[in-house]
Structure 1
Amino acid sequence: MKEVIIYTDGACSHNPGPGGWAAVLLYGGHRKEIFGGEKRTTNNQMEMTAVIEALKALKEPCHVKIHSDSAYIVNCFQQKWYQKWQKNGWMTSTKKPVENKELWQDLLALTKKHKVEFIKVKGHSDVELNNRCDELARAAVPK
């Protein structure tokens, strides 16, 4: 199984508002940058979209290490929140519908195709590729 390193980030001007997402994918000596934006979205939606689009870009099942500064995403997978949500019919522990359910479902389906590890990165620090994703995501925000 090929090992792919992915850095992702999302950005939003107002929340909700126009937003952008970006990912940097690394495999061997190869590097690919992908990004996009939406006119009305949220920061969490852009963070999730970055991971979804990065996983969609993979052509075969891979061992993937996703580096994200989104506690929302990393904690969900490291603490397995999604298992409780699914068990409770996509309701939170406070009996409210899980926000971004469709994106979570897309993301969960993609994580089943690959062996995925989520790694928390401190945002706006000296992590070069996280900073690059932030730059790309901000540039992708529709004006």
Structure 2
Amino acid sequence: MTTNTSTITIHTDGACKGNPGPGSWAVIIEDEHQRLFLADRVPETTNQRMELTAAIKALETLKQHAGRPIRLVTDSQLLVKGMTEWLEGWKVRGWRGSTGKPVLNQALWQQLDVLSQGHTISWEWVRGHNGHQGNEEADVLANRALVEGPVCKRVFLDAGAA
């Protein structure tokens, strides 16, 4: 990505055939100059783990861009609520939910917590399969990776295009 301070938009999605079963994650990272498409599959996982993994992979990719605002768009209410409503309480309670049970996928949440430090992130939920272009593209990419395996593609945008 570039070295300016414009917002980076991330679209994430996770897919799983069976739950648990083979799964995949997908990330589309974009700014005004380029779009980066990343996806991969995992032999045995859950849909929730893939949603969290997608966000982790996106933030790992953006480690060197601390300071740039990030807009992360996902169809996972779990991811958005976890990062915006529940995370601080989990940490205070020793990674236990409000009922006292251990938080599921704790290691992934902890990774997300660490990776989100140093970034200003807007976590946004959109309804899945509802015509939101970035979400639809991430969904197609995740399903492609589930069948075909890893995807890594960078597209440079025409600076004169609107």
Structure 2 residue aligned with 1:104: 109
Match of 2:23 among 14, 19, 24: 19
* Residues in 2 aligned to 1:47 and 1:30: alpha-carbon distance in whole angstroms: 23
Match of 1:44 among 44, 48, 55: 48
Match of 2:10 among 1, 6, 10: 6
Structure 2 residue aligned with 1:69: 75
Q: Does the alignment pair 1:93 with 2:98? A: yes
* Residues in 2 aligned to 1:60 and 1:26: alpha-carbon distance in whole angstroms: 13
Structure 1 residue aligned with 2:160: none
Structure 2 residue aligned with 1:122: 127
- Three-state SS of the structure 1 residue aligned to 2:97 is coil
Contact 1:69–1:120 (Cα < 8 Å) also in 2: yes
1:101-121 alpha-carbon deviations (Å, 9 max, x no partner): 000000011111211110111
Question: Structure 1 residue 142: deviation in Å?
Answer: 5.4
Question: Structure 1 residue 77: deviation in Å?
Answer: 2.3
Moved over 4 A (4+): none
What are structure 1's unaligned runs of at least 5 residues? none
AA matched with 2:9: I
* Residues in 2 aligned to 1:139 and 1:86: alpha-carbon distance in whole angstroms: 36
What are structure 2's unaligned runs of at least 5 residues? 149-162
* Residues in 2 aligned to 1:113 and 1:78: alpha-carbon distance in whole angstroms: 16
Identity %: 37
| Matched length | 142
* Residues in 1 aligned to 2:82 and 2:95: alpha-carbon distance in whole angstroms: 13
